[in-house]
Structure 1
Amino acid sequence: MKRDQSPVLPGGGATDYARYMRTDELLDLQRDPADMLHRDELLFQVVHQSAELWLKLAEAELAEAVARTTADDPQAAASLLERATLAVRLVTDQLEMFRHLSPVDFQAMQPALGNGSGAESPGWRRVATVSRQLGRAFTAHLATRGGRLGALDPTDPTRRLAEAMTAWDERVSQWRVRHYEVALRVGGHAPAGSPGSPATVLAKLIGHRFFPELRSARPDTDVPAATHSRTAQA
């Protein structure tokens, strides 16, 4: 006998999948084709909107990692941070779609963007804020373990968390490199160092790390606590 697949969840949508995933609303968030200046606006919006969703997940994982670090559970914090790192890898990978967006086509659609800039991404700003919170939480946690990362056993969960934090920094840096390359190729920005070029700011951020002390830490050295005061844009 065929199972009844009529929707049982509340809300709009012809199926429970549509209602739970809210696909009707999700797929209505892009500009109507009749309003587009160029058909590649759809590509541009899908890449950026999906990035904001992955960053929302990354922020949630980071926030829980902060809570677990504060609760002296570095093992759980490391697992959560690894999930956030994978989310940013996916954000980076989808920038490959812009290989199919030519500078000429981008210029044609640019008036539709107004004064919008990727620097205004709420997802990246929130991720940066929580990353700094994680740095402070880790410093406080490490202080309870003697303050010397290199003195801990290699199998210590705190070491795993430190490695996950370093991997997070590296993944974010890789995203920034790809973003910079896209800005030069598609956005037509002049290279870093050119007067007034927005690419100069992007290039400076490539070298930024949320946890630089973890890269420079050596056995039996203290991890400094004063390196987490970063700008909101970093």
Structure 2
Amino acid sequence: MAQSTVQKPKLAYDADPAAAHGGATPYEAYARLDVLHTLQQPRSTVDAEMSFIITTQVMELLFDLVRHEWTLTQQALRADDLPAARAALRRGALTQDVLNSSWDLLATLSPVEFSAFRPLLGEASGFQSSAYLLLEFLLGNKSERLLEMYGGAPEVRKQLTAALHGPSLYDEVLALLARRGLLSEPAAPGTERYRPSEAVQAAWRTVYTDPAHADLVELAEALLDTAERVTRWRQRHYSSVKRTMGAKSGTAGSSGLAWLKAATEQDVFPELWTVRGEL
């Protein structure tokens, strides 16, 4: 019997992994560790600055992972695949837990330590994080005014503009309720912060009181898991800033503590909270 001439594709590292990746192992090459471990460049001699930089970078990576899961949730909702939507929300919630726990690292930063290197941040502020702003837009907390700070970054602004004009996560949920006959056809996605609706609250009341909508109850509870973790994030952010810098103005000129405190009082998916008083 003649042997097959089909050969198994040869991977670049089959012969010599170290040579194929410039001396790195396949693991290091896959995770781009040669780049990752060069991104921590403190600007001061304050020991605590390294913790500040690494924690901030980890948060940014986790923002991307949360956005990935919420985007998958949107896709599943559009396909009426509620199990897949709940699974993505659950993975996203676990990522949010890690995000919220990351504030513990910054809680070790004393006011004296932070003040020692804070001037070196210049106009840099976490408020300028485009990855986090994308999450806020996905939650329906939209504001076109916030795009102004990205005038010098056209690709970032393009991505944020698409999210601003596109459907939020909650928009996709409400579209699902409309397809189920629980809401009239929703309006096109807006570019302003979502405002609560009595019609939406009535729809959720029907969902929770009609056994025929048990799958939507499970979705609603998964959404609340997400919303609760967003509130925890905002609360941890507020308390962390209060602990390290008190009521000083933010590095980018924001109102700092006052702005953060106001954010903690904004409910995500508001009707899912208010309807509970009627059940």
For normalisation by structure 2, the TM-score amounts to 0.69
Q: 1:24 and 2:34 equivalent?
A: yes
Distance 2:15 2:232 in 1: 45
TM-align CA RMSD: 2.6
Superposed CA deviations along residues 10-40 of structure 1, whole A, max 9, x for unmatched, are 65551001000001100101105xx424221
Amino acid at match of 1:53: L
**Match for residue 150 of structure 1 among 184, 195, 208:** 208
State the shift of 1:214 in Å: 1.0
Q: What's the counterpart of residue 83 of structure 1?
A: 91
Query: Do the aligned partners of 1:65 and 1:80 also contact (CA within 8 Å) in 2?
Result: yes
How many positions carry a matched residue from both structures? 212
The corresponding residue for 2:241 is 183
How far did residue 117 of structure 1 move? 1.5
* 1:128 match: secondary structure: helix
Following the alignment from structure 2 to structure 1, what is the Cα–Cα distance between the partners of residues 180 and 278?
12
* Runs (5+) with no aligned partner, structure 1: 222-234
Contact 2:230 2:268 in 1 (8 A): no
1:147-202 CA deviation, whole Å, 9 max, x = no partner?
132244287222211111111111010111111011111123259xxxx8421110
Could you tell me whether the CA contact under 8 Å between 2:18 and 2:24 is conserved in 1? no
Q: Deviations over 1:77-123 (max 9, x none)?
A: 11101111111111110111123211001000102211111211222
Could you say which residue in structure 1 is the equivalent of 2:192?
none
User: Hey, what does 2:230 align to over in structure 1?
Assistant: 172
TM-score, length basis structure 1? 0.82
Distance 1:45 1:217 in 2: 41
Unaligned ranges ≥5, structure 2: 1-13, 141-167, 183-202
Q: Within the alignment, does 1:105 sit opposite 2:113 as a pair? A: yes
1:122 maps to which of 96, 117, 130: 130
Task: Report whether the alignment pairs 1:140 with 2:175.
Answer: yes
Amino acid paired to 2:105: M
Deviation at 1:57, TM superposition (A): 0.5
CA contact (8 A) 2:67 2:135 kept: yes
Superposition pairs for residues 207-222 of structure 1, below 5 Å? 207-217=265-275
Query: Structure 2 vs 1, CA of residues 13 and 28 (structure 1 numbering), >3 Å: closer, same or farther?
Result: farther
Which residue in the other structure is 2:256 paired with? 198
Retained in 2: the 8 A contact 1:11–1:19?
yes
Instruction: Report which of the two structures shows the higher radius of gyration computed on alpha carbons.
Output: 2
